[in-house]
Amino acid sequence: MTATPTLDQKPAGPPPAGFGLDGKRRRLADRAFKLAAMASGLSVLAILVLIAVSTSQKAGPALRDEGLGYITGSRWAPNVDVFGALAFISGTMIVSAIALALAVPVSFGIALFLSEFAPRRLRQITIYVIDMLAAVPSVVFGLWGLIVLAPWIVKVYDWIADTVEPIPVLNVLFGQPVTGRSFFTAGIILALMITPIVTSLTREVFDTVPTGQKEAAWALGATRWEMVRGAIFPHSRSGMIGAVMLGLGRAMGETIAAALVIGSSARLTLHLFGSGDAMAAVIANQFGESGGLHRSALVAMGVVLFAMTIVVNMVARAIAGKTVSAAPVRGRR
């Protein structure tokens, strides 16, 4: 006769789930793990604080020297210790604007395609194409842009410049003399680079539209495009803006591709087919040789760029909420 277990008898079976330890040691191990996790979290804080302290310390001298003139001055002359970053801030904004103007319609189109228009096989192929675009490192984009795109696209610029010669505003933006290593070429390269991220973020936003809304549109007899306009866009507007802003943030921080094709010319200008410079590219090009106040000015430029990126990301977050994040997860496909 098998003895029925009574309450004061330990049942046979696996030990309690606690590392095989019991009581105090188990609680200690648990505690240790929690502390390790907390310490890791704090490390993020620590690194960021370190970055903030170290960069503002280094940037201090130049910013104090120039004051507000650092941002409003357009003369950048390291040999006489005059540092006005306006030309570069403007350059960054111009290149980013071009990149957005080119990338955003295309990205929205691709996202719509993946979300609503594509038959299943084409959808898969398109996803591969976008992944491939995201996989190309920025320096390879720069290499191709410098050696292949720039020499070829000069002819296009030339033709456009000659065509818009008589038109008032356009001939300032697109007039002669044109050069392959210019704002516009850098904008094209950056557009290619930010397309994957804007596309994938926008697509995630489109996918959150409740099917009920879409079906309601169908039920009313809408064409596919009308369904998109009526059900998807209104629901996704804030998410789309957020995606665009995150693309902007990415374009502003892009260093290497821009450095290779932008032309490295420190002037305040709106001539899109002419050379210019952008903040990140200037830092990369001039940091090695800089010392003293010059180096401080370059670190200050990094701080300004960082601040601008933070603002853009915060605005994105505010508009789009949690639906878009700066570090998108592409887990589900």
Cβ 282 to another protein shortest distance, Å: 9
Q: Among all chains, which residue has been given the structure tokens 């691709």?
A: 110
Cβ 168 to another protein shortest distance, Å: 20
The residue among 2 and 262 lying less far from another protein, judged by its C-beta, is 262
Cβ 181 to another protein shortest distance, Å: 7
> What burial letters (b/e) apply to 158-168, b meaning 16+ CB within 10 Å?
eebbeebeeee
The residue among 2 and 75 lying less far from another protein, judged by its C-beta, is 75
The residue among 2 and 53 lying less far from another protein, judged by its C-beta, is 53
The residue among 3 and 23 lying less far from another protein, judged by its C-beta, is 23
Cβ 30 to another protein shortest distance, Å: 4
Strands 76-77 and 82-83, sheet pairing: antiparallel
Rounded Cα distance between 16 and 73, Å, is: 70
The residue among 213 and 264 lying less far from another protein, judged by its C-beta, is 264
Among 249, 253, 229, residue whose Cα is nearest residue 241 = 249
Cβ 9 to another protein shortest distance, Å: 18
The residue among 158 and 241 lying less far from another protein, judged by its C-beta, is 158
Amino acid at 221: G
Q: Reply yes or no: is the peptide bond before residue 177 cis, omega within 30 of 0.
A: yes
Cβ 163 to another protein shortest distance, Å: 18
The residue among 43 and 163 lying less far from another protein, judged by its C-beta, is 43
Cβ 63 to another protein shortest distance, Å: 15
Number of other CB atoms surrounding residue 219 within 10 Å:
8
Among 247, 265, 257, residue whose Cα is nearest residue 90 = 265
Amino acid at 198: V
Q: What are phi and psi of 81, to 5 degrees?
A: 60, 35
Cβ 64 to another protein shortest distance, Å: 18
Cβ 297 to another protein shortest distance, Å: 12
Angle (CA) 53-59-64 rounded to 5° is 115
What CA dihedral angle connects 133, 324, 183 and 89, to 10 degrees?
-140
Rounded Cα distance between 7 and 91, Å, is: 78
Rounded Cα distance between 333 and 328, Å, is: 13
Rounded Cα distance between 105 and 305, Å, is: 26
Burial class (CB in 10 A: 0-12, 13-18, 19+), 187: buried
The residue among 169 and 332 lying less far from another protein, judged by its C-beta, is 332
The residue among 212 and 221 lying less far from another protein, judged by its C-beta, is 221
